[in-house]
Structure 1
């Protein structure tokens, strides 16, 4: 996550409602219209099932309170608006409490196709469909619980397991590879890149390998990990991830397959 952002958090009223402008609602509408055909073609079945369960509005930004009503009935989760940037400690705590933190602003037209930090489109359109599924909800809560039990020095190691699954994971469905992660579902360019990109490295799902794999947030990923089935994710949630982190640290990070991020001028 970037350390700074040009966006300002939207504050809900006493009823938990955020009053988005007509222009902001139009950005949501146009993002959904652009992305939904690609999602229906390339996204994994659990994501599409979650979308149907939520039945999100297509012509306006959904409210966290209305999404929470559906999630609480299905998995006991809810969505809470937060500022654009929160630390790992708060992020893990919220996940452990079955609360998904949603950045409350929506991108502007200049960042329509790509935004480095998460916005409400990424959070609601990208993340909440999987939280309707008890298996993915359990995995996310487990990440949060492990984060609370971790030292801050271990946060960057643990978050890689979340990054390469919930955010940018792939999964096999029959003879096809489909997109599972929220970062893919909400990204017009990276969704297709992850599945068809000729230079992309697609590796089998392996917890230790994932923990050792560095990533950059500001580029299309050069490496993705592919689940054979959702059960692999459930098995990962039952592991002693703190032990896994120590093992990965002892082995060290893999050499990045991408160039270092340019320093800001």
Structure 2
């Protein structure tokens, strides 16, 4: 195996004009693969207990395994389902580029994976967060349409883009949904974190608010701590019924 991808973290030198980079699967080291397996085993077990059925179905559809996924191979399974593809990026990218990718059914996934020392806390999203947390629900037609529409609104948002950032935070990253099996998680920030998933579903010390787009867009959030507010859907179709979002 090749050297770890730590040296590629934040390396934007080889990116294309749309901020994408090749994945280079052959460069993932044995340690990178070991970290992936550790994360998948832990979070998959938690997802089976705390995630909504749509997320679990997505994990099965993309054939999540014990090795770091090859983005090209994943796209052969994902694209026929909803028209979405994943593209490699070196890390965080500008809002304009991110929204443009979403508007064209391309989801940016970071190519590097965290170290073992960062298993429980990471400053910025890595491959595991982006892939395990986000990609499964892109197999769901309703959620997939929402993500594209969100991207389109982001392209058009102008000075109101910060409102959309809040909506993304409280839905795509930290959303909950009520189901016949009880309260479940669908947000990537919840399902990719061992601490957050238990906190979001089981903690008595948090606020769980019925989803409303206007309220979510006007609610500040904190990045570097467990959340104290979660918005709760009754159905994913609520995401597509948001007149407040259409105004921005």
Of residues 204, 213, 222 in structure 2, which corresponds to 1:207? 213
| C-alpha contact 1:204 1:225 (8 A) present in aligned 2 | yes
Give the aligned CA root-mean-square deviation in angstroms.
Answer: 1.9
Q: Give runs of aligned pairs for residues 65-84 of structure 1, distance below 5 A.
A: 65-84=72-91
After TM superposition, give the deviation of residue 175 of structure 1 in Å. Answer: 6.0
After TM superposition, give the deviation of residue 9 of structure 1 in Å. Answer: 4.7
After TM superposition, give the deviation of residue 185 of structure 1 in Å. Answer: 1.0
After TM superposition, give the deviation of residue 116 of structure 1 in Å. Answer: 2.5
SS in 2 for 1:183: helix
| C-alpha contact 1:9 1:103 (8 A) present in aligned 2 | no
TM-score (norm 1): 0.83
SS in 2 for 1:115: coil
Q: Does 1:95 align with 2:105?
A: no
Of residues 47, 52, 60 in structure 1, which corresponds to 2:55? 47
Aligned partners of 1:83, 1:43: CA distance in 2, in Å? 28
Q: Which blocks of at least 5 consecutive residues in structure 1 are unaligned?
A: 1-5, 246-265
Which residue does the alignment assign to 1:254? Answer: none
Which residue does the alignment assign to 1:261? Answer: none
Aligned partners of 2:218, 2:239: CA distance in 1, in Å? 17
Aligned length: 234
Q: Which blocks of at least 5 consecutive residues in structure 2 are unaligned?
A: 1-7, 16-20
Aligned partners of 2:223, 2:160: CA distance in 1, in Å? 18
TM-score (norm 2): 0.89
Q: Give runs of aligned pairs for residues 53-64 of structure 1, distance below 5 A.
A: 53-58=61-66, 60-64=67-71
Aligned partners of 2:203, 2:102: CA distance in 1, in Å? 32
| C-alpha contact 1:9 1:82 (8 A) present in aligned 2 | no
After TM superposition, give the deviation of residue 15 of structure 1 in Å. Answer: 7.9
After TM superposition, give the deviation of residue 115 of structure 1 in Å. Answer: 1.1
Of residues 33, 37, 45 in structure 2, which corresponds to 1:29? 37
After TM superposition, give the deviation of residue 242 of structure 1 in Å. Answer: 4.4
